[in-house]
Amino acid sequence: MRARSLPIITISILLIFLISCDIPSIWQTKWSSEPKPFSIESVTISRNMGEDFTPVNSTDEFPAGSSVIYISIKINNMTPEDNLSVTWNYLETREEIDSTDFSPEETGSGYIGFKLTVVQGLLTGNYNALVYVNDEIYEIIEFSVK
């Protein structure tokens, strides 16, 4: 009789232990594949840009006559539903010089590059670039041409 009750007691203790553990939440936490949200790691203004849109020679001061200025934005988990845009402004006259939008075709991470080109060269003075994420200002980058 004693030999028969031992397996029943062992199974009962095991069942009580399993019922008291929150197995479903442990399983969900361990195996959850929720996508991570879109985020920006860095925004850098520079004189040049690498092939993979990484910033080269970052600065906020450019020589008079500069005709190209770059902004590199390092992103994580950007989806086709997300949008980045940059609006370039000449602060001396409060004039918008250019604006560019970007939405990816598929979800990804890496660098996105934006470029301002003024063939005749930028006038000396103060400028800014407004970086928008999903139509909301994320960062304002100020720079000057001297």
User: Which domain CATH number covers 53?
Assistant: 2.60.40.2550
Residue 20 structural domain: 2-28
- Specify the pLDDT at position 90: 97
Q: Domain tally for the chain? A: 2
The DSSP H or E segment spanning 63 is: none
Residue 116 bridge partners (DSSP): 69
Q: Is residue 49 part of a domain?
A: yes
Check whether residue 52 and residue 11 sit in a common domain. Answer: no
75 and 134 inside one domain = yes
Instruction: Based on the fold, state whether residues 57 and 120 are members of the same structural domain.
Output: yes
Residue 34 lies in a domain: no
- The residue behind tokens 């028969």 is 4
Judge contact between 40 and 77, C-beta under 8 A: no
Residues 103, 79 contacting (CB under 8 angstroms): no
| 67 and 112 fall within a common domain | yes
Same domain as 75, residue 132: yes
104 within some domain: yes
On whether the CB atoms of residues 116 and 100 are closer than 8 A, the answer is no
Per residue of the chain (146 residues), what is the pLDDT tens digit? 555 665 666 555 544 544 455 444 444 444 456 678 999 999 999 999 999 999 999 999 999 999 999 999 999 999 999 999 999 999 999 999 999 999 999 999 999 999 999 999 999 999 999 999 999 999 999 999 99
33 belongs to a structural domain: no
Beta-sheet pairing, 108-117 with 68-78: antiparallel
